[in-house]
C-alpha cells in the first residue's frame, strides 16, 4: 500500500484468541503478528481484553479478585483484500479449526 492519496478499499481481519494460546513456545498472537509482518501486510495490532468468555463459557476478567491468566486477545490486521485473503489461508494452517475470526470491509485512509 502506498502512502497519501485517495482512500483505498481494504479488509480488516480480526482474530480472537485467549492470552494463553501458544504456537510452539511463543504466544499465538505474537506468532500471527510476526507472520503478518513477514508477509508484508500493511499493519497488525494486538489488543488485550479486560473481560470476556469463549467456548468454555467461563468469564475471564482483569478484576483484582479473579486473577485470570486467560484474558481475551484480539489481533487486528488491515490491508488490501487480496493480501488479507491470502493471509487467512496461512492462519487456517496455523490454528486449524479453532480459528475464530472475521473479515470486514474498511476504507483505508492515510
pLDDT value, residue 90: 87
Q: What is the pLDDT of residues 63-84, one digit of tens each?
A: 555 555 678 899 999 999 999 9
Top pLDDT among 108 and 2 is at 108
C-alpha cell of residue 35: 507472520
Q: What is the pLDDT of residues 23-69, one digit of tens each?
A: 999 999 999 999 999 999 999 999 998 877 766 666 666 655 555 56
Q: Which pTM value belongs to this model?
A: 0.82
Report the alpha-carbon angle 51-56-60, nearest 5. 20
**DSSP letter string over 71-107?**
-EEEEEEEE-HHHHHHHHHHHHHHHGGG-EEEEEEEE
Amino acid at each position: 500500500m502506498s502512502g497519501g492519496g485517495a482512500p483505498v478499499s481494504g479488509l480488516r481481519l480480526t482474530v480472537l484468541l485467549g492470552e494463553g494460546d501458544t504456537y510452539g513456545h511463543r504466544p499465538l498472537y505474537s506468532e500471527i503478528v510476526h507472520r503478518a509482518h513477514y508477509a508484508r501486510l500493511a499493519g497488525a495490532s494486538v489488543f488485550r481484553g479486560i473481560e470476556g468468555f469463549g467456548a468454555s463459557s467461563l468469564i475471564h476478567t482483569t478484576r483484582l479478585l479473579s486473577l485470570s491468566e486467560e484474558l481475551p486477545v484480539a489481533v487486528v490486521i488491515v490491508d488490501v483484500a487480496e493480501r488479507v485473503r491470502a493471509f487467512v489461508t496461512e492462519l487456517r494452517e496455523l490454528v486449524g479449526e479453532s480459528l475464530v475470526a472475521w473479515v470486514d470491509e474498511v476504507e483505508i485512509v492515510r
